[in-house]
């Protein structure tokens, strides 16, 4: 099986897509938040690789081709934002202040937790870009001297947690405004949170897509200064 994955251009992609489709079917069938398609696909893929004794490098030889779609998929998030442009113009001050608050909350929370658990500088900067999209977070982690592979894992887990629990948290705190919901999901859980926001509504999805871009840029600006504090 290892040789098959190593020599096939489509084995890794096929396994990834089938695992994700299984996750979507489970989510649609049971309507349980924990049955997140991305979480299911990760678990199924790991299980298959372990059982079949396939090296990650062999699997990734084909699966890495999926990453080509990351940039155009992110750019497509501008479409729902364009459709809600008038709503954005009416609320731009609140939107910008909210995203700034979200970015600062994210980075300073990591700072406090790193101090609490006595993490070193490298571990701290590895976790610092946890709430921004992978494409930007990898660059931030690498620039600051973090472990990029761990950063990717942390970003994915942050997104999954936001996707699973984001709507529940909004209900608990009685957050009903669609703009607030969208901004909170995008600023805290990036693209995976945005997928959830789009399920909730068009306005939520548009604002979440905006939050990904703005929060990413703000983190790039703020992170180098915060990184010097530990």
Six token digits for residue 141: 């982690």
Q: Are residues 88 and 165 in the same domain?
A: yes
Q: Are residues 64 and 104 in the same domain?
A: no
Q: Would you state the pLDDT for residue 2?
A: 67
Domain boundary among 46, 68, 90: 68
Mean pLDDT of the chain: 88
Domain boundary among 17, 40, 68: 68
Q: Is the pLDDT of residue 105 over 90?
A: yes
Q: Are residues 56 and 129 in the same domain?
A: no
Six token digits for residue 64: 């890495």
Question: Residue 64: which pLDDT band, with cuts at 50, 70 and 90?
Answer: confident
- Who has greater pLDDT, 181 or 76? 181
33 phi, psi to nearest 5 deg: -60, -35
Q: Are residues 117 and 210 in the same domain?
A: yes
Q: Are residues 28 and 57 in the same domain?
A: yes
29 sits in which H/E element: helix 11-30
Domain boundary among 11, 38, 68: 68
Q: Is residue 176 part of a domain?
A: yes
Q: Would you state the pLDDT for residue 202?
A: 86
* Cα distance between residue 193 and residue 161, in whole Å: 8
- Which tens digits make up the pLDDT trace of 130-165? 999 888 898 899 999 999 989 989 998 999 899 889
- Which tens digits make up the pLDDT trace of 8-33? 778 888 999 999 999 889 988 887 87
Q: Are 132 and 189 in contact (CB under 8 A)?
A: no
Q: Any idea which residue has 């678990």 for tokens?
A: 43
DSSP string for 114-162: HHHTT--HHHHHHHTTTTS-HHHHHHHHHHHT--HHHHHHHHHHHHHHH
Long-range contacts of the stretch 74-81 (C-beta < 8 A, 24+): 74/133, 74/135, 74/191, 74/212, 77/191, 77/194, 77/209, 77/212, 77/213, 78/209, 80/198, 80/202, 80/205, 80/206, 80/209, 81/206, 81/207, 81/209, 81/210
Least confident range from 107-116, 172-181, 193-202, 217-226: namely: 193-202
Q: Is residue 73 part of a domain?
A: no
Q: Would you state the pLDDT for residue 85?
A: 81
Range of the domain at 156: 78-227
* Cα distance between residue 149 and residue 126, in whole Å: 9
Q: Is residue 90 part of a domain?
A: yes
Q: Would you state the pLDDT for residue 62?
A: 80
Q: How many residues are recorded in the chain?
A: 230
Number of domains in the chain: 2
């Amino acid at each position: 099986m290892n040789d098959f994955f190593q020599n096939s251009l489509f084995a890794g992609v096929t396994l990834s897509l089938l695992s994700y489709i299984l996750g979507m079917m489970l989510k649609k069938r049971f309507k349980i938040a924990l049955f997140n398609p991305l979480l299911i696909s990760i678990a199924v893929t790991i299980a298959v690789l372990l059982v079949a004794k396939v090296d990650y490098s062999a699997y990734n030889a084909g699966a890495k081709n999926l990453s080509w779609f990351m940039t155009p998929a992110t750019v497509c998030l501008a479409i729902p934002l364009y459709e809600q442009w008038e709503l954005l113009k009416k609320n731009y001050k609140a939107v910008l202040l909210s995203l700034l608050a979200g970015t600062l909350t994210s980075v300073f929370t990591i700072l406090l937790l790193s101090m609490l658990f006595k993490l070193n500088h490298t571990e701290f900067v590895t976790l610092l870009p946890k709430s921004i999209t992978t494409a930007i977070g990898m660059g931030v982690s690498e620039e600051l001297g973090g472990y990029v592979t761990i950063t990717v894992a942390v970003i994915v887990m942050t997104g999954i947690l936001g996707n699973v629990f984001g709507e529940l948290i909004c209900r608990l705190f009685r957050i009903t405004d669609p703009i607030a919901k969208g901004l909170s999901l995008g600023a805290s859980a990036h693209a995976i949170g945005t997928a959830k926001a789009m399920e909730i509504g068009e306005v939520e999805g548009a604002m979440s897509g905006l939050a990904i871009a703005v929060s990413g840029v703000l983190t790039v600006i703020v992170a180098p200064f915060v990184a010097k504090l530990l």
